Amino acid sequence: MPDRPYSPHLSLSGHIRDLGHRAAEKVTLGEIIDSFGRRAFAALLFVLAIPNLLPLPPGSSTILGAPLLLIAPQMVIGFQTLWLPKVIDDRKLSRAELARVFDRLLPWLERVEQISRPRLVFMFGPVGDRLIGLICTLLSFVLILPIPLGNLLPALTIAVLAFSMVQRDGLLALAGYALAASSGALLVLSAGVVMGSIHHLVGWFGGA
């Protein structure tokens, strides 16, 4: 039985919980996309980013980040319908695994939903949505890199920006932009430390 379309009266947390507790053992990514309907872009960005805030097996952020690199650029271009290659669209996910991951995060999401509402909606639209898509595209590149704990802040940023789009909450978008700036600053600092360490090692070996 296919997933029913996303209901505007059903919260994002309610829809995600529903996805993980259906009778079928497996669900394809394509079915999840279809179930979210017109909110597929923002909802999927959230669904794929938020699990990175939990301890996951090595390489999981790369697996979750790869689809983000296909979804976010389509927002920048301005696609109205989400497209994914068939090999990804047909990828099956365990509902039990989805439920296990999201059941730990949904209580926090539900608390935010209680205080979130449409506000500062001028921040969204053709320009605002593309800007969010661009930021999420850049941060998706970071997610697929094997940086220990380096995916936490980018994943949180993508999740906050995506959720702000779902809710049309401009205050959350501002928080997401602040997190994006922090992510950028942290990446620059980390890159400086790495380059300094490499320079130090080269100098040490050169003087040996």
**Confidence (pLDDT) at 4:** 40
Contact (CB, 8 A) for 162 and 49: yes
| pTM, entire model | 0.79
SS3 168: coil
Nearest-Å Rg of the Cα atoms of the chain is 18
Q: Do 20 and 102 contact (CB within 8 A), yes or no? A: yes
pLDDT tens-place values along the chain, 208 residues long: 343 444 445 678 877 777 766 656 777 777 777 777 656 788 888 888 887 777 666 656 666 677 888 889 999 998 887 887 887 777 777 777 777 777 777 888 888 888 888 999 999 989 999 999 999 998 888 887 766 666 788 889 999 999 999 899 999 999 999 999 988 887 766 555 445 444 544 555 555 5
Q: Please say whether the beta carbons of 23 and 125 come within 8 A.
A: no
Extract the tokens encoding 96. 């039990």
Question: SS3 of 27, please?
Answer: strand
What pLDDT sits at residue 70?
A: 86
Separation in Å, CA 167 to CA 58, 92, 126, 173, 189: 32, 28, 16, 10, 33
pLDDT value of position 60: 62
